[in-house]
Amino acid sequence: MKNYNIEQNIESTSDNYWHHQIIKTIILITSLLHFFITSNAQSIYPQNYFQTPLDTPLYLSAPFGSLRDNHFHSGMDIRTNEKEGLPVYAVADGFVSRIKISPVGYGKAIYIDHPNGYTSVYGHLQKYEGIIADYIKKIQYQNESFDLDHFPGKVLFVKKGQVIGWSGNSGGSTGPHLHFEIRSSKNEEPLNPQLFGIHGEDFLNPVIKKIMIYNLDGNRPVILNDLTLSRNNILKNDSSSFYKDTIEVLKGTTGFGVEAYDYLTNINAECSLYGMELFVDDVKFFSYKLDRIDFVNSRCVNAHIDYEIYKRDQVRFQKCFLDDGNNIKIYNYLRNKGKYNLKDDAVHKVSINVFDLDGRSFLFSFYIKGFSDERLQVKRKPKCSNAIFYPKKNNIFKTKDLILEIPAKTLYDTLDFCFDVLKEKERVSFSSTYKIHDQFTPLNKSFSISIKPENYPEKLEEKLLVAYFVKEGNIHSVGGEYSNGYVSAKSNNFGNYFVTIDTISPTIHPLNISKDGDVKDTSGIRIKIDDDLSGISTYRATINGKWILMDYDPKNNLLFYEFDDKTIRDKKIEFSLTVTDKKNNSSTLSKEIIISNK
């Protein structure tokens, strides 16, 4: 690849006063535009209506719209000083419209509808407060279930500033924090809370670290060049940066990807951007802003990024072009879907601007020059193609032992499908292992896979399931049922699939009950439960035959029964716990215990 010195196109800014002034003017105009756009965006949302949900400064661990595994983040994650138990306040008057408790997801969450047409959401709570807590516990005991998805109607009214719960780490949280959202009550669409004046602390600029240049003529983007920004290869002026060499790029449909981050209050904490723009020869081709996210298409984050790089290197490059099946509504400007037709030998300027919600930005430009080389056409060819699958059609692939059904809107782009039967079998498998394309192709929803089992234990069809390999030789169950000679399941990842069996019951291990039955804790009973394959399905605990409420924390494999004023103390009681996995294997612990007052 040839490199052309950028001085063929633009003199060093230190030697060219007028060029320097032009660039400064462009950046000033851009900053003003961002200011007016942001001010206008905020003006259509009520200001000063909502208070903040915590009485601490809002230091964010993740802003609205952050790029997550399989979804855009629908709220803001507010730090709680790495601890639980901070008071959480209703941000405005309203009725509790929904109470959802789950061992995964938002954990213990509460939803409040407000008279102005918006709903506030508070997730990962440690516990609820006051009459709300009493109401919830009553419903759980009526249902005999820890899990809850309840809509109270206009029963629980809360005032602005009222404590509704305490911050925690419940559900899928990976550390103590408050997940906070504002949604449209009409359509449940999450909106950026900062547009309502609930500002997270932020005083640092976003930064671009690396840029990818792709050829997009095939069914999968092909990386042609990558630019890593460093002190050795960029020129700077007061407001922008330039790559110092012109890059030679294979002619054809060209796209760009960007590794960039926003920094809020800590230069070592990389957060997702609020927005990005792409210009070619000063003509806008692409722009997005994270003002709102629709749940239905949130999984399109996998098409918004270079999924293959992410799966391989755990780095998210945001694509400045749109795949046909990417329907997330965050793109406020698209010219030719962000794709540029590089067809001549001229030098073209590419500029990428990343910015935060307050208008702080980082502008970077570089120059590309097209060239032709038939030897590089091989880069555009698929590695294999057992079939062609289309995103807008229902696709079916069959062999004598496998049926694969990929519904319309599952794929983001046309796919040259690769399939293989692997020679080696796992010792725990009861079928061949089938290579279903590769793990680097993202899917928007689930596909169906049916595999014909072989040589499985007699009369154990109901224990068969479909699984696939994950890192380091581990396997992940996707479940499924046996019917008409096949084990059928649904999955949302391509990979290496096979049939295995689960006949092993879950394990139950008391953490604070002695061999003699003494409970060595004054706060509650702690039990560790685990299952090695299909996963925990249900559990049921009783004391003297009556159901008791046990919180389930699957990330720590923990069940917890909290003592209260109704707990029987200083006398023998019968404690029983039955845990069942998703293949109906169960274990039971029954034991006489004594809960002491000491």
Q: Which residues of the chain have a pLDDT value below 50?
A: 1-39
Residue 341 shares a structural domain with residue 440 = no
Same domain, 336 and 262: yes
- What's the number of domains the chain is made of? 4
Question: Any alpha helices (H) in 371-479, and if so which ranges?
Answer: none
CATH number assigned to the domain comprising residue 79: 2.70.70.10
Q: In the numeric block, which tokens belong to residue 341?
A: 């037709």
In-domain check, residue 40: no
CA angle 100, 563, 178 (to 5 degrees): 35
CATH of the domain at 571: 2.60.40.10
Is residue 178 within 8 A of residue 88, CB to CB? The reply is: yes
Specify which residues 100 forms β-bridges with. Answer: 109, 149
For residue 309, the surrounding DSSP H or E stretch is helix 307-313
Query: Is position 301 within any domain?
Result: yes
**pLDDT attached to residue 12:** 36
Question: What's the confidence (pLDDT) of residue 520?
Answer: 86
Judgement on whether residues 182 and 230 belong to the same structural domain of the protein: no
Q: What is the pLDDT of residue 133?
A: 97
Together in a domain, 374 and 235: yes
Give a yes or no: residue 330 inside a domain.
yes
Cα 594 to its chain centre, rounded Å, is 44
The verdict on residue 79 lying in a domain is yes
Q: Do 130 and 179 belong to one domain?
A: yes
- Does residue 428 lie within any of the structural domains? yes
Question: d(Cα 594, Cα 575) in Å, to the nearest integer?
Answer: 10
The CATH number of whichever domain residue 497 belongs to comes to 2.60.220.30
Mark whether 393 and 433 lie in a shared domain: yes
Q: Whole-model pTM?
A: 0.88
Q: Are residues 215 and 149 in the same domain?
A: no
Structure tokens at 452: 């014909």
Single residue among 501, 533, 550 that ends a domain in this structure: 501
Of 379, 403, 427, the last residue of a domain is 379
Q: Which helix (H) or strand (E) holds 304?
A: helix 301-304
Residue range 188-206, pLDDT digits in tens? 999 999 999 999 999 999 9
Query: Is 429 part of any domain?
Result: yes
Task: Give the Cα separation of 494 and 424 in Å (integer).
Answer: 19
Residues 447 and 352 in one domain: no
The answer on 336 and 212 residing in a single domain is yes
Question: Are 353 and 238 in a shared domain?
Answer: yes
* Site of tokens 């928007």: 444
354 and 275 inside one domain:
yes
Domain hosting 116: range is 60-196
Last residue of a domain, one of 356, 379, 402: 379
CA 314 to CA 327: how far, in whole Å?
24
170 and 215 in a common domain? no
For residue 15, tell me if it sits in a domain: no
pLDDT at 425: 66
Q: Which helix (H) or strand (E) holds 18?
A: helix 17-43
Task: Tell me if 43 is assigned to some domain.
Answer: no
Strands 190-191 and 157-158: unpaired
